[in-house]
Amino acid sequence: MKMGSSNNNPFKDQTNYSFTNKLFPYTLYALLPIAIIHLYLNPFSFSFSPTDLFPYTNRITISPSKEVLRKSIGLETSCDYSNGTWVQDNLGPLYNGTTCDTIKNGQNCMVYGRPDKDYLNWRWKPKNCKLPRFNPNSFLKLVKNKHIAFVGDSLARNQLESLLCMMGTISKPQLLYTDGEANKNRKWHIPSHNINVSIYWSPFLVKGIEKNTEKDFNTLYLDSVDEKWAKDLEFIDFLVLSVGHWYLHPAVYHNGNNVVLGCHYCQNYTEIGFYDVFGKALETTFRKIVERKGQNGNESSVFLTTFSPAHFEGEWDKFGACSKTQPYKEKVLEGMDAEMRKVGVEEVRKAKLRVEEFGNSNLRLEALDISGLALLRADGHPGPYMNPFPFANGVGERVQNDCVHWCLPGPIDTWNEILLDVLKRWGGEYKGKLT
Ligand SMILES: *[C@@H]1O[C@H](CO)[C@@H](O)[C@H](O)[C@H]1NC(C)=O
Ligand SMILES: *[C@@H]1O[C@H](CO)[C@@H](O)[C@H](O)[C@H]1NC(C)=O
Ligand SMILES: *[C@@H]1O[C@H](CO)[C@@H](O)[C@H](O)[C@H]1NC(C)=O
Ligand SMILES: *[C@@H]1O[C@H](CO)[C@@H](O)[C@H](O)[C@H]1NC(C)=O
Ligand SMILES: *[C@@H]1O[C@H](CO)[C@@H](O)[C@H](O)[C@H]1NC(C)=O
């Protein structure tokens, strides 16, 4: 767990590395998560049976007229949220660590003593459309009587907790279920609007065995979706997928039960990196979603949150690893961040074509393309405030930093603002309006 001396520190001068050598970034990013592994949830196995959890009955079925409405909305249904700027906004966040009790400790920056507050006062302004402030009432109305599920890794949880806090300003979610182990799988109910919200831990989306004390690498089965969540697909109306960082770990990749395609940062197989592998896993995931939602299934919306960049500058356990207090004005996605985003966007595009081919007009897919706007928010991570009052006794020689996850409240609230806005557009709320 301890990093070596600063000479071969893989975080150092990250942006100066050349990405023209295809293999080099793979090995670089294999080392990165080794150092910060404890920032993610413990990669140990757990067991639960989701079939016990979702014995739903009453469903709302969709009348065909809604589809006609959608088609008539035309241009107003879309906005390129990815191109814009962060502008100062003194309204501040909707919630904080005092008003919301579902924030994971290490991301509750205010409560853990982060002294600066500027990072709370920014709003994302897309270049060509308006992104309204999150309106919890609109959101609750839109997902009334439905089940919204987040599936993925700790960044999925981060985004989910932001949403819970924002919904909670109107109506408090009640915890229905937790698997008791690091809160990996949880489910809430919001009685006022009969909404269920859940989170499934599935850091690859496809079937996989997470690294453990015996095996120091992940094992992925790229052609099988992870049934822990996928078996509940018919009972999920809104699905948000968020994965990526676990693909950086050393891993062996299988395609079919006994065929090894290659590996990433391991000894016995051919290095194949993780970009193509990530694409293949997303392809499998979307293929299953399209298949299982059927041709005339319930109305469903599926989102893929694109890769969320980390901001380590220097060693993760040295003071100042991510100590910015203002967003960047401009910064272009590059290297791994750009590749991972691209793979996600491309797989969503392919999945949309498949939905069309399949003829399911009740299934909508979209990429929540947050990579670029997230890259600008180096000021939004917990950094040393992943631990409470880290400098109470002065600055120690080692200071652990989380420059991956996001403070709550913080920039990740914007991901959900975009989510809501897309849903509103799909629902025809902007019909005839200039936005
Ligand atoms: C919410 O979950 C409960 C318990 O699993 C289930 O009985 C109910 O039908 C669900 N409601 C919705 C709207 O999904
Ligand atoms: C945003 O849009 C402007 C033109 O409207 C373009 O010049 C710029 O390259 C775009 N930026 C990104 C990140 O796409
Ligand atoms: C938290 O939010 C509440 C309610 O909006 C507000 O009264 C309080 O001042 C906030 N606390 C901080 C530390 O911002
Ligand atoms: C639609 O929802 C109902 C109730 O949750 C469920 O029983 C049914 O299987 C769903 N249909 C499809 C095609 O998923
Ligand atoms: C590589 O092979 C050795 C010897 O067979 C084995 O002990 C080791 O676990 C293998 N490593 C991987 C990553 O498969």
Query: Closest-lying ligand to the alpha carbon of 121?
Result: 3
pLDDT at 254: 97
Task: Return the pLDDT at 238.
Answer: 98
Index of the ligand 4 atom closest to the CA of residue 234: 14
- Active site (annotated) includes residue 405: yes
Q: How many other CB atoms are found less than 10 A from the CB of residue 62?
A: 15
Q: Match 């896993």 to its residue by tokens.
A: 281
Q: Among the listed ranges 19-33, 230-244, 299-313, 360-374, which one has the minimum average pLDDT value?
A: 19-33
- Ligand 4 centroid to Cα of residue 293, in Å, is 8
Higher local confidence (pLDDT), 69 or 357: 357
CA atoms within 13 A on the CB side of 229: 30
Nearest listed ligand to the Cα of residue 165: 3
Q: What share of the chain has pLDDT > 90, as a percent?
A: 72
242: closest CA among 227, 255, 229, 256? 229
Q: What is the pLDDT of residues 364-420, one digit of tens each?
A: 999 999 999 999 999 999 999 999 999 999 999 999 999 999 999 999 999 999 999
Mutation test residue for ligand 1: of 48, 147, 200, the one with most atoms within 8 Å of CB: 147
Which runs of E-coded beta strand occur in 63-119?
A: 84-88
Nearest bound ligand to the CA of residue 145: 1
The reported pLDDT for the residue numbered 283 is 98
* Ligand 5 pocket member 267 (CB < 6 A): yes
Answer whether residue 178 shows pLDDT above 90. yes
- Torsion from C-alpha of 137, 141, 146, 152, nearest 10 degrees: -40
Q: Do 310 and 403 meet the contact criterion of CB atoms below 8 Å apart?
A: yes
Does ligand 5 come within 6 angstroms of the Cβ of 268? yes
Burial of 409 (0-12, 13-18, 19+ CB in 10 A): buried
Question: According to DSSP H, which parts of 250-405 are helical?
Answer: 275-293, 335-358, 371-375
* pLDDT on residue 147: 98
- Give residue 9's region: left, alpha or beta (phi > 0; psi -120 to 50): beta
- CA–centroid distance, 197 to ligand 1, in Å, is 9
pLDDT mean over 64-69: 40
Task: Give the largest CA-CA distance in the chain.
Answer: 64
CA of 41 to the centre of ligand 3 (A): 29
The catalytically annotated residue of 154, 198, 300, 301 is 154
**Four-point Cα dihedral 316, 31, 225, 104, nearest 10:** -10
Share of the chain above pLDDT 70, in %: 81
CA distance 423 to 237: 12
Active site residue 189: no
How confident is the model at residue 433, as a pLDDT?
54
Return the pLDDT at 435: 42
Confidence of residue 77 (pLDDT cuts 50, 70, 90): low
Rounded mean pLDDT of the chain? 84
The answer to which of 6-10, 357-361, 376-380 has the lowest mean pLDDT is: 6-10
Per-residue confidence band for 25, with pLDDT thresholds at 50, 70 and 90: very low
Confidence band of 73 (pLDDT split at 50, 70, 90): very low
| pLDDT given at position 93 | 96
Mutation pick for ligand 3 pocket among 90, 99, 120, 169 (CB with most ligand atoms within 8 Å):
99
* pTM: predicted TM-score of the whole model, two decimal places: 0.85
62 lines ligand 4 (CB under 6 A): no
User: 61 alpha carbon to ligand 4 midpoint, in Å?
Assistant: 9
Q: Measuring from atom 12 of ligand 2, which residue has the nearest CA?
A: 83
Question: 204-213, 245-254, 257-266, 422-431: which has the minimum mean pLDDT?
Answer: 422-431
Among protein residues, the one with the nearest Cα to ligand 4's atom 2 is 59
| Residue 233 alpha carbon to ligand 4 centre in Å | 9
pLDDT at 359: 85
Q: What is the pLDDT of residue 398?
A: 92
pLDDT, mean of residues 257-261 = 87
Task: Identify the residue whose C-alpha is closest to ligand 1 atom 7.
Answer: 56
On the 0-12 / 13-18 / 19+ scale of CB atoms within 10 A, 231 is: middle
Task: Say if residue 44's pLDDT is above 80.
Answer: no
Question: Which range scores top for mean pLDDT: 37-51, 170-184, 364-378?
Answer: 364-378
Q: Label residue 431 left, alpha or beta by phi (over 0 means left) and psi (-120 to 50 means alpha).
A: beta
**Whose Cα sits closest to atom 14 in ligand 2?**
83
Long-range contacts of the stretch 98-105 (C-beta < 8 A, 24+): 99/165, 99/168, 99/169, 100/164, 100/165, 100/168, 100/169, 100/408, 102/161, 102/164, 102/165, 102/168, 102/173, 103/161, 103/165, 103/408, 104/157, 104/158, 104/161, 104/183, 104/408, 105/388
Query: 295 CB under 6 A from ligand 4?
Result: no
Q: Is the pLDDT of residue 58 over 50?
A: no
- Ligand 4 within 6 A of 346 CB? no
Sheet with 218-225, strands from edge to edge, namely: 206-209, 218-225, 251-254, 260-264
- Position 134 confidence tier, pLDDT thresholds 50, 70, 90: very high
Could you tell which of 264, 268, 270 is best to mutate to test the pocket of ligand 5, judged by most ligand atoms within 8 Å of the CB? 268
Distance CA 210, CA 282 (A): 18
Which of 160, 183, 289 is CA-nearest to residue 229?
289
Residue 214 or residue 57, greater confidence: 214
Confidence band for 20, pLDDT divided at 50, 70 and 90: very low
**Residues at CB less than 6 angstroms from ligand 2:** 83, 127, 372
28-32, 41-45, 154-158, 401-405: segment of lowest average pLDDT: 41-45
**Which of 80, 81, 127 should be mutated for ligand 2, with most atoms under 8 A from CB?**
127
Q: Which atom of ligand 1 is nearest to the CA of 237?
A: 14
Tell whether the model's pLDDT for residue 213 goes beyond 70.
Answer: yes
Instruction: Determine the Cα–Cα distance for residues 267 and 411; give it in Å rounded to an integer.
Output: 39
d(CA 416, CA 161): 10
Give residue 182's pLDDT: 75
Measure the N-to-C terminal CA separation of the chain; round to a whole number of Å: 50
Average pLDDT over residues 333-357: 97
Q: Is 310's pLDDT higher than 60? A: yes
Determine which one of 153, 223, 369, 402 is catalytic: 402
CA torsion 95→107→200→362, rounded to 10°? 40
Edge-to-edge strand list for the sheet holding 186-190 = 174-178, 186-190, 195-201, 147-152, 238-242, 300-305, 363-368
pLDDT value of position 157: 96
Q: What does 128-153 look like in DSSP terms, one character per residue?
A: SS--PPP-HHHHHHHTTT-EEEEEES
The pLDDT value recorded for residue 431 is 61
More confident position, 241 or 294: 241
Ligand 3, CB cutoff 6 Å, lining residues: 96, 98-99, 110
Whether 154 is catalytic: yes
Task: Determine which helix (DSSP H) or strand (DSSP E) holds 27, and give its type and residue range.
Answer: helix 23-36
Place of tokens 């831990």: 201
